[in-house]
Amino acid sequence: MKHRIFGKKLGRNRNQRQGLFRSQTKALFTHSYINTTQAKAKALVPMVEKICTLAKKNDLSAKREIYKIFQDRKQVDMVCKQINLVFPDSNSNFTKMTRVKVRQGDDALIVKLHFVKDISFKEAPKVEAKKTKTVKKPAVEKKITKVTSKKKQSL
């Protein structure tokens, strides 16, 4: 019986599994889609949905929970901002899986995990003001004189 068993092990130990989930979650929230196997995508969806619902709260404790995964404040702020803009009225079902192909080597089903609505997590390019040219002043040469002390001459 599989009572109280949650999630898939994916042939990895705990640390490897957490690293896999973190890296795939970062990639999903950076590029807004990832191509991966169906088993990995099914195991990743609950984590992504949890992050999206935390981002909807947009308070300090929620941002700290998201920060545990991303380890980047700019990305956490961008995720919270974009999720609230794109999904203002939904509280669940943020992601969708579509079949892409079957991998030739092991017949694993490859799926595309992406968000239901089009979303971009990339920062808008900032327009920089034109910089004025600064003229460098020529360096002033300093003459260094060596101070020598006279030796006492004995008689």
Residue 20 inside a domain? The answer is no
Query: Would residue 79 count as lying in a domain?
Result: yes
Q: How many domains does the chain have?
A: 1
What is the structure's pLDDT at 128? 66
**Is residue 88 one of the residues assigned to a domain?**
yes
Cα angle 66, 72, 74 (rounded to 5 degrees) comes to 95
**Which tokens is 106 given?**
């092991």
Band (pLDDT 50/70/90 cuts) for residue 152 is low
Question: CA 81 to CA 83: how far, in whole Å?
Answer: 6
- Helix orientation angle between 60-70 and 14-31, rounded to the nearest 10 degrees: 110
Is 9 a domain residue?
Answer: no
Q: What is the pLDDT of residues 99-150, one digit of tens each?
A: 999 999 999 999 999 999 998 887 755 656 666 667 777 777 777 766 666 6
Does some domain include residue 43? yes
The DSSP-derived string for 13-77 is: -HHHHHHHHHHHHHHHHHHSEEEEEHHHHHHHHHHHHHHHHHHHH-SHHHHHHHHHHH--HHHHH
Domain membership of residue 23 (yes or no) is: no
CATH number, domain at 87? 3.90.1030.10
Task: Give the pLDDT score at 1.
Answer: 84
Residue 15: CB atoms within 10 A of its CB come to 8
| Residue range(s) defining the domain that contains residue 81 | 36-115
Q: Comparing 122 with 41, which gets the higher pLDDT?
A: 41
- 109-115 β-sheet, strand order: 33-37, 109-115, 95-102
58-101 per-position pLDDT tens digit: 999 999 999 999 999 999 999 999 999 999 998 889 999 999 99
Does residue 151 lie in a domain region? Answer: no
Q: What angle do CA 60, 61, 67 make, to 5 degrees?
A: 90
pLDDT tops 60 at residue 154? no
